[in-house]
Amino acid sequence: MLKKNRHQAILQLIEQHEVLQVSELAQSLDVSLETIRRDLSEMQDKGLILRRHGRARRLVAQPETSWLNSLQRCPQL
């Protein structure tokens, strides 16, 4: 399985289950623990997931409250 496809599968599994252990992901995708750990580290660095104590969880969406987002929603003057 290509890395891109594996990352998509990981995101889908985490979305379905919210939190998954590294071993569960490795078993589900039939890859080694090392492969999953590398994937999760890369995905966390990209801000796609949160990794803690041998588990991966989805990120909780933050409300858009920054002033830049507010300005972007204003009509042109």
Helix (H) or strand (E) holding 32: none
Q: In order of start, what are the domains of the chain with their CATH numbers?
A: 3-58 (1.10.10.10)
Closest CA to 19 of 68, 67, 57: 57
Tell me the pLDDT of the chain (77 aa) as tens digits.
Answer: 899 999 999 999 999 998 999 999 999 999 999 999 999 999 999 999 999 989 999 886 554 445 455 555 555 54
pLDDT for 1: 83
- The whole-model pTM stands at 0.74
